[in-house]
């Protein structure tokens, strides 16, 4: 089986916990990965493009997870050209923020091997598009956090007590 690798790395001007929380938040994924719906358990996940109901779901398996450090996922899909994609994502603190590195290994079917340059180009475009959207999602969350902190410390800010429902939820968990 033929394969190829793509790598990308970027420094995000946000703390590591924020980058990690956006990376593993299932509801946030659809915002940075082109209309993808995610379902499944924490160890297994299933994704499906919302715009293409006729396509089968992409099944994913979490191979390894180290909180705020590393996430390895294997994605299997009913594609004609690709058999599976293994993603290895690492998160490291940097002087000015957090470095996110992505190493993707694409395993091709025999049909994919025949058109490997085209598949590689499309995979590279998809990886870069997801990276841009992910950066925008992290920046938006960082901005929300800064605004929330500024409102809480502003003169005359009134902190509301927690609602009884929220307290009940915390004790139940």
- What band does 172 get if pLDDT is binned at 50, 70 and 90? very low
Quick check: 120 and 107 in contact, CB under 8 A? no
| Distance (Å, whole) CA 170 – CA 173 | 5
Q: Which residues contact 173 (CB under 8 A, 6 or more apart)?
A: none
Tell me the whole-structure pTM to 2 decimals.
0.72
Query: Distance from CA of residue 129 to its chain's centroid?
Result: 12
- What band does 85 get if pLDDT is binned at 50, 70 and 90? confident
Per-residue pLDDT of 121-153, as tens digits, reads 988 988 888 888 889 889 988 899 888 888 888
- What band does 167 get if pLDDT is binned at 50, 70 and 90? very low
Q: What is the mean pLDDT of residues 73-85?
A: 80
Q: Which residues contact 109 (CB under 8 A, 6 or more apart)?
A: 1, 79, 80, 81, 82, 83
Among candidate residues 140, 130, 64, the one with its CA nearest the CA of residue 73: 64
Per-residue pLDDT of 28-48, as tens digits, reads 776 666 545 565 655 555 555
Q: Is 81 helix (H, G, I), strand (E, B) or coil?
A: coil
Which domains occur in the chain, in start order? Answer: 3-149 (3.30.530.20)
């Amino acid at each position: 089986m033929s394969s190829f690798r793509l790598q990308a790395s970027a420094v995000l001007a946000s703390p590591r916990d924020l980058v990690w929380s956006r990376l593993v938040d299932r509801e946030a994924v659809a915002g940075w990965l082109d209309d993808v719906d995610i379902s499944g358990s924490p160890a297994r996940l299933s994704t499906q493009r919302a715009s293409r109901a006729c396509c089968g779901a992409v099944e994913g398996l979490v191979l390894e997870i180290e909180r705020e450090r590393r996430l390895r996922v294997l994605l299997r899909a009913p594609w004609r050209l690709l058999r599976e994609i293994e993603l290895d994502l690492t998160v490291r603190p940097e002087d000015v923020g957090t470095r996110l590195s992505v190493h993707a290994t694409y395993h091709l079917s025999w049909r994919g091997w025949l058109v490997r340059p085209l598949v590689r180009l499309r995979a590279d475009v998809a990886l870069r598009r997801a990276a841009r959207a992910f950066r925008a999602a992290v920046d938006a969350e960082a901005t929300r956090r800064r605004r929330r902190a500024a409102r809480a410390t502003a003169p005359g800010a009134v902190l509301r007590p927690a609602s009884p429902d929220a307290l009940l939820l915390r004790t139940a968990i």
